[in-house]
Chain A
Amino acid sequence: MKVLVSGKVEGVVLKSKNAINFLGTVDKKTGIISDKNHDLYQKSIKDTILAFPSGVGSSVGAYTIYSIKSNNTAPLAMICMKADLTVATGCALANIPLVILSDEEFSSINDGMKLSLDTDSVNPIQYQ
């Protein structure tokens, strides 16, 4: 596991099989995914522990992450399989904890699971 932005949170996992293009497919005011081809279509990422393979697409997506944080519609934390700069820098500026997991670790995280994340702990992810 690699920590890109540190922090400590507890919450319920919202897991996606698809990458997320934050610019244009995440509604800044509601945190709802608007891309009909996405497996999280019409779901809100607000206050979730959002697990998804990686961010993709336009570099301005970092501002979307900053905006959803300012609008209180952001996830509590993000968990990815692959680091990308849009998500890493958006989370760095917005102070949203972000960790990168191996494929194996990522696949052991399930949608709807309750977990706590503490990036300073020896076992950063605890299932509840």
Chain B
Amino acid sequence: MELTREEESALKGEQGEIMEMAYRILVATGEATDAEKLIPIEWTHLSGVNYNTIGDAGEEFLSSISKDARVKVKTTLNPMGFDIDNVSNYGLDENFISKQLSIRNSYETMGVIPSFSCIPYEIFDIPKVGTQVAFAESNAAIHANSYDNLKTNKESAFSALASALTGKSPYSSLRKEDSPNVSIRMNVDNPNELTYGMLGYFAGKVGDISVNISGLGEMDNRQCKAMCGGMGTSGTCAKFIFGEDDSDSEKIDFDEKAMQNVHDELNTSEKGDIITLGSPQLGLEEISELAGKLKGRSFEKRCMIFTPRTIKEKAQKIGYTNELERAGCEILSDCCTCLTPLINKNDVDAVTTNSIKGAFYLKNSNGVDVNLKSLSRIIEDETR
């Protein structure tokens, strides 16, 4: 990768340790993705916020760099481990809370917007077509490339941080025009958001950098998000290209059998003790729709709902949160199902969710069983 004289100087450490580290990460990223140069980016979205995921090493690292490091471009932030408004209801220990607040403080000191959301594409204005960004949250990177006409690598937590500190990112293949080497034909009738989540998970396993998908009908926002969340969980792929593919690329069917395989891999229980909705976090449209579906009904089990703080505030004003709480929902902002420390196997055997991404991490990281159901099935089976 070619560097400018100024970039070379930073890599040699002539602009301080922070810049040296940032450029070392950018160079490794660039070499890994065959980029020929670095280019300016306008927005970064960072992962690596939840103390549950980054641990003491991450907390100490951020605390140390935040003494000097400052972001150079608009930088937003993934969810953390809890909602400070109701954290006392969930039995987290004091160490967790204080370490999480230290992480929050380090990011704020560096100049990061404390959005604590995995759906930046729903809570911030989308810049003009073709804008180069650097999104670390996998579902957000895929959404940005596939639906929002933005361009990003599927950044790692560190490459996005390096981009925030330098305002640059390697000019890798996802930032250019590319042609996917695999084309998936959607061949399942009457799909719901769970189907699309499984399709995304399947696509992430067979695709490489981007994947073509044909045979899709009209999709709603929930289904688009589910597909991005699924793909981000299983692979390195970071872009859907929609439409018929006439090229010679490999064609693979996503049919009932392929879907059943994904289902069997992730669904380990026939029922759950609690329900979680939101990974990715729910947007206002989904909250509104849920409030509508719950009119006159109540959950018979605990139901945790994850949404960004800005959405929760809007939902409060409109009256949705009252309606949801009446139906027995616990509404949590700033955090998400994925990698939540609020669910653990000492208290919970199995979780019912419609999120493929949530299912993967609940199963593998939280060690609980998962019962996969679409939202309409959840409402049918679990409320009255």
Q: Which residues of A contact B (CB under 8 A)?
A: 2-5, 19, 21, 23-25, 28, 34-35, 37, 54-64, 66-67, 69-71, 82-86, 88-93, 98, 100
Contact = CB atoms under 8 A, between A and B. Distances in A.
A69 B233 CA distance: 24
B12 to A, nearest CB: 15
B361 interface: yes
Interface stretch (B105-113, B150-158, B342-350): B150-158
A89 B54 contact: no
A84 B234 CA distance: 13
B158 to A, nearest CB: 4
Interface of B: 21, 24-25, 27-29, 31-33, 47-48, 50, 53-58, 61, 78, 136-138, 141, 153-160, 162, 204, 208, 232-236, 265, 338-339, 360-361, 364-365, 367
A93 B78 CA distance: 20
B242 to A, nearest CB: 23
Contacts of A71: 57
Contact of A85 (B32, B53, B56, B57): B32
B162 to A, nearest CB: 8
Dominant SS among interface residues on chain A = mixed
B174 to A, nearest CB: 10
B21 to A, nearest CB: 7
Most buried by A among B154, B156, B339: B156
Given A59-B138, A63-B53, A63-B57, A84 B236 contact: yes
A59 B24 CA distance: 18
B378 to A, nearest CB: 24
Given A37-B265, A60-B48, A23 B25 contact: no
A51 to B, nearest CB: 17
A93 B21 contact: yes
A54 B236 contact: yes
B160 A63 contact: no
Contacts of B160: 59
The list of the 5 closest CB pairs from A to B, nearest first, reads A24-B365, A83-B32, A92-B28, A89-B158, A70-B57
B136 A59 contact: yes
B236 A34 contact: no
B264 to A, nearest CB: 11
Nearest to B21: A93
Nearest to A34: B364
A56 B235 contact: yes
Nearest to B45: A59
A67 B47 CA distance: 15
Contact of B32 (A28, A69, A88): A88
B158 A35 contact: no
Contacts of B56: 67, 70
A67 B55 contact: yes
Given A85-B155, A85-B156, A89-B158, A23 B57 contact: no
B54 A60 contact: yes
Contacts of B61: 66
26 contacts: A4-B28, A19-B235, A23-B339, A23-B361, A24-B53, A24-B339, A58-B47, A58-B53, A59-B48, A59-B141, A59-B156, A60-B78, A61-B156, A62-B158, A63-B53, A63-B157, A63-B158, A67-B55, A82-B236, A83-B32, A84-B236, A85-B156, A86-B156, A88-B159, A89-B162, A93-B25
Contacts of B137: 59
